[in-house]
Amino acid sequence: MKISRNEVEHVADLARLELSGEEVDQFTGQLDAILSYIDKLNELDTADVEPTAHVIHVGNVIREDRVCDSIPLKETLSNAPETDEGFFKVPKII
């Protein structure tokens, strides 16, 4: 097995996904099959190969630090599930 049920539960926790027992079972089997397939990559010796993050090289992109128009507060908050006096409101943190 490439991945265990416990590891699937750990990864779900990292990803902040609540999974049902049935989903954990299903993902364990499917991720195991996918990761076994991905093992193919180990057939290749890549010791001296540079990794590619972006195909076309772009250096750092810097812009002037200028004040521009931004989206007004009311519109910014208009999609929020819950707001209070101009702030996003969330359930208690601690």
Partner 1 sequence: MTMKLHPLTLHQASEMLQKGEMTSEELCRAVLRRIEAVEPKIHSYVTVMEKDESAPDSGNAPSNDSLLAGIPLAVKDNIVTLGIRTTCASRILSNFVPPYDATVISRLKEKGAVLLGKTNLDEFAMGSSTETSAVGTTRNPWNLACIPGGSSGGSAAAVAADACIAALGSDTGGSIRQPAAHCGVVGLKPTYGRVSRFGLVAFASSLDQIGPLTKDVEDAALLLQVIAGYDPKDSTSLDVPVPDYRAALTGELSGKTVGVPKEYFVEGMQPEVEAAVREALAFLEKEGATIVEVSLPHTEYAVATYYILATAEASSNLARYDGVKYGYRAEGAEELIEMYRKTRAEGFGKEVKRRIMLGTYALSSGYYDAYYRKAQQVRTLIRQDFDRAFEKCDVLVTPTSPTTAFRIGEKVDDPLQMYLSDILTLAVNLAGIPGISIPCGFDDSGLPIGLQVLGKHFEEATILNVAYAYEQRTDWHKMRPAL
Q: Which residues are at the interface with partner 1 (CB under 8 A)?
A: 3, 7-8, 11-12, 14-19, 23, 27, 30-31, 33-35, 37-38, 40-44, 46, 49-56, 58, 61, 63, 71, 75-76, 78-82, 88, 90-93
R_g over Cα of the chain: 23
Shortest distance (Å) from residue 86 CB to partner 1: 13
Shortest distance (Å) from residue 32 CB to partner 1: 11
Do residues 11 and 28 lie in contact, with contact meaning Cβ atoms separated by under 8 Å?
no
Q: How far apart are CA 71 and CA 83, in angstroms?
A: 17
User: Side chain identity at 10, as an amino acid letter?
Assistant: H
Shortest distance (Å) from residue 93 CB to partner 1: 5
